[in-house]
């Protein structure tokens, strides 16, 4: 399945998701009791779109968070030359820092792996090694769902799941592109394993403010040739809803060694 995102391919509407009884009926996520959260972000923005509410909750509960920035996100603007791409990478990194600051993290802990955007699956062993060595007893790993629909997201989710299994760590999967290609009746989404984090008005407002830090993704892609942003508004709105949904991955237990 190829993931196509443009004005003609805006996926399942947010109105459809908001009206979904299935989504409203998803069980609540239990309170965080992690010693630390390892948040795997294939691209600089996934951590905030997928888990900006969870990040605020972790900060409030004094749970330390380490963001693993897997790629630098250089693939969002493929027409750029080398120097422009380096500027884009700097910009995307600082957007992520600013967004995390807006969620309460004055000095966010971000480890960058610099794997190539759109080619994470070719570097799976390096990613798996990085995650396995970073995971510690009592950590929760929060990563994209391994069937999210973007090859980098799927590769990150797959490696995270394997790392969690080998370390006996607990894993929650977040959803980004699933909201695009799936619909509330989609049987390929394991709804029974989903858990819902209900956001307060304040958390929701802060998350929305944080998403606005990613100007390279939400502004016109190239003002000279196109007004279309990488993430059009109907897609961005999915991440302003009053809840976040995570898939509770089975097979892992809290690390005891």
Q: Which residue in the shown chain puts its C-beta closest to Zn ion?
A: 43
Give the interface size with Zn ion as a residue count (CB under 5 A).
3
167 or 178: CB nearest Zn ion: 178
Binding mask 7-46 for Zn ion (x = CB under 5 A): -----------------------------------xx--x
47 part of the interface to Zn ion, by CB under 5 A: no
46 or 139: CB nearest Zn ion: 46
119 or 136: CB nearest Zn ion: 119
Closest approach of Zn ion to the CB of residue 73, in Å: 8
Closest approach of Zn ion to the CB of residue 111, in Å: 17
Q: Which of residues 140-159 bind Zn ion (CB under 5 A)?
A: none
Closest approach of Zn ion to the CB of residue 138, in Å: 27
Distance between alpha carbon 181 and the CA centroid of its chain, in Å? 16
22 or 221: CB nearest Zn ion: 221
63 or 176: CB nearest Zn ion: 176
The footprint of Zn ion (CB under 5 A) covers 42-43, 46
């Amino acid at each position: 399945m190829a993931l196509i995102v443009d004005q003609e391919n805006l996926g399942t509407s947010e109105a459809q998701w908001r009206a979904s009884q299935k989504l409203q009926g998803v069980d609540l996520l239990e309170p965080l009791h992690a010693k630390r959260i390892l948040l795997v972000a294939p691209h600089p923005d996934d951590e905030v779109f997928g888990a900006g509410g969870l990040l605020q909750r972790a900060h409030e509960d004094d749970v330390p968070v380490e963001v693993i920035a897997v790629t630098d996100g250089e693939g969002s603007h493929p027409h750029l030359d080398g120097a422009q791409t380096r500027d884009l990478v700097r910009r995307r990194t600082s957007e992520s820092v600013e967004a995390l600051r807006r969620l309460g993290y004055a000095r966010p802990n971000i480890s960058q792996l610099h794997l190539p955007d759109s080619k994470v699956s070719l570097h799976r062993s390096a990613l798996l090694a990085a995650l396995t060595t970073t995971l510690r007893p009592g950590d929760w790993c929060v990563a994209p769902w391994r069937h999210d629909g973007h090859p980098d997201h799927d590769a990150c989710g797959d490696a995270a799941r394997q790392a969690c299994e080998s370390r006996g760590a607990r894993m929650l999967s977040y959803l980004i592109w699933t909201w695009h290609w799936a619909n509330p009746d989609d049987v390929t989404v394991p709804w029974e394993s989903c858990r819902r984090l209900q956001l307060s008005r304040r958390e929701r407002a802060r998350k929305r403010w944080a998403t606005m830090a990613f100007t390279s993704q939400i502004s016109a892609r190239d003002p000279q040739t196109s007004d279309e942003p990488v993430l059009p508004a109907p897609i961005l709105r999915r991440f302003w809803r009053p809840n976040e949904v995570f898939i509770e991955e089975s097979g892992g237990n809290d690390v005891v060694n």
